Amino acid sequence: MAVARCLVEAWVGGAFRTVGQVSVLDDEAGYRGAARFEYDLDYVETALGAIDARAVSCRYPVSYSSFDEEVWPSFLLDLMPSGAARRFWEAELSLPNTPRSDWAMLARGGGNPPGNVRIVTLGGSGPEGAVAAEHPGFTRDEVIERGERFLEYARAHGAPIAGSSGAAGDSPKFLLREDARGRFHADGVLPDARTRRSWLVKFPRSPREADRLILQAEAGYWAVARELGVRVGEPLAWERDALFVPRFDRPQAGGRVERLGLESLASLAGVTEFGAPTPKDDLVAAVLAVSSDPLADLRELVLRDVLDVAMGNTDNHARNTAVLKDARGGVRVAPLYDFAPMMLDPAIARVCRWRGDEVGGYPTWDTLADTLGRLGVTGADAAEVRGWLAELAPAVAALPATMRAAGVPGRVVEAAEHRIERVARGLPKEPPRARGKAAPRGRARAR
């Protein structure tokens, strides 16, 4: 049993800054052990009270106070590798898959996660200090052909790979950067000045045909969501068992790479377990408490849930949705990600459900409208929410045709048709009030 510490840095004002320190009382207890986070006093003077990208979490406003917790602060679970990324680091460090390895996972694997916050070991440096070592990088074909073994291939060819495995989830996912010549490098080693675009590249979870189909359909699912007005990023590209996802947390601005804050709804709601079945009511409340546009974000979350249920995105755990944060006070629901037909995997059930407004994985939309109407969001009383849902019904009923037009494989469309019909039938039928705002439909602008 030993106290362990690490620094937390955040990208603020165009550079990484030390913003605070994490201390765990027992580095062998894992993330269920007691911990403390405290901001750096000099940093507090520059950002006192901020909850946006200047803070490590919306739950921890920049403050002179220390935050003592019986378990690790929930934002650390966003930074610690999980799923395929954790398996990579366990192999890399020869560590067992036990809670005793959690601290090493955070300290070594938390140096380049999505978002703008990272972990730096005391006396060490973050991955941005790494050098590309003049390695020419890899072609798109090499990335695709090597698939889930790409990192081993890269290492064997002398390429630095630090920072490329920070994305969570069971599918092998790599954080890569594309240079001006169209060659790919690990996210943590290619300098901003040489970066043309930042990518998340995903491969199927296993050789099973169902897993390949799930990933193949994700690009089409994204396109359908865009058609119905969901907040999305740039189009995804499916190519020979690889899905290329442009990163919305790494926009290019003025010839340099920006780093926006990204915090999962699990972290936002203080959920300190992976995959915990958190009620959607609690997740929505956590978003509304910090959102810079509560009405728009409530509409967004309602629309996404309708599509999750209708299109069979059963893997709706609280880390598969996030808020995106800038350093000017903006906190909004992040563009959609990990939206796929997980219904094709019978082992994955809908985890986050509405408390009291859901039966067998299907919300009772009328009573849900009443529940959401009581949240006190201006412009979102029960009648207004019921109107949003009623106006969505025709678009939901037409989803099979929309999915086919978007290139979703026919087998997936057929598997979803009974769900779509049930959701369309269950949505409120009454027309929205004439003075109400339009339902969240129409083409969304990528950002």
d(CA 416, CA 151): 35
Determine the pLDDT at residue 133. Answer: 52
Backbone angles phi, psi at 46, to 5 degrees: -95, -15
Better-predicted residue by pLDDT, 131 or 256: 256
What is the average pLDDT score of the chain?
A: 91
Confidence of residue 168 (pLDDT cuts 50, 70, 90): confident
The answer on pLDDT for 290 being more than 70 is yes
Q: Cβ(373)–Cβ(382) under 8 Å? A: yes
Cβ neighbours around 62 below 10 Å, total: 22
Q: What SS3 string covers 312-351?
A: CCCCCCCCCCEEEECCCCCEEECCCCCCCCHHHCCCCCCC
pLDDT at 444: 38
Q: What is the dihedral of CA 264, 267, 272, 277, to 10 degrees?
A: -50
For residue 378, give the 3-state DSSP assignment: coil
Is residue 87 within 8 A of residue 170, CB to CB? The reply is: no
Residue 148 has a pLDDT of 84
Given a cut of 50, whether residue 442 has pLDDT beyond it is no
Poorest-pLDDT segment among 88-92, 101-105, 386-390: 88-92
| Phi, psi at 78, each rounded to 5° | -70, -30
Q: How confident is the model over 410-441, as pLDDT tens digits?
A: 999 999 999 999 999 999 986 545 444 444 44
Please determine, for residue 131, whether its predicted confidence score (pLDDT) is greater than 70.
no
- pLDDT score recorded for residue 439: 46
Of the listed ranges 19-33, 73-87, 158-172, 273-287, the least confidently predicted one is 158-172
Give me the pLDDT at residue 329, please: 96
Residue 236 per-residue DSSP state:
P
Q: Residue 275 — pLDDT band, cuts 50, 70, 90?
A: confident
Whole-number pLDDT of residue 197: 95
Are 342 and 354 in contact, with CB atoms under 8 Å apart? no
What percentage of residues in the chain have a pLDDT greater than 90? 78
Q: How many whole angstroms from its chain centre is CA 281?
A: 19
Instruction: Give CA angle at 166 (161, 168), nearest 5°.
Output: 140
Mean pLDDT over residues 227-233, rounded? 97
| Residue 447 predicted with pLDDT over 90 | no
Please give the helix or strand (H or E) that residue 117 lies within, else none.
strand 117-121
Q: What domains does the chain contain, in order, with CATH numbers?
A: 4-120 (no CATH), 130-203+241-246 (no CATH), 260-426 (1.10.1070.20)
pLDDT of residue 123: 60
Place of tokens 């809670």: 99
Tokens of 398: 């037409």
pTM of the model: 0.92
Compute the average pLDDT of residues 60-66.
Answer: 97
Confidence of residue 121 (pLDDT cuts 50, 70, 90): confident
Residue type, 91: A
User: Mean pLDDT across the stretch 318-327?
Assistant: 97
Lowest mean pLDDT among 182-186, 193-197, 437-441: 437-441
Average pLDDT over residues 312-324: 96
Check residue 358 and give its pLDDT: 95
pLDDT at position 311 is: 98
Helix/strand/coil for 386:
helix
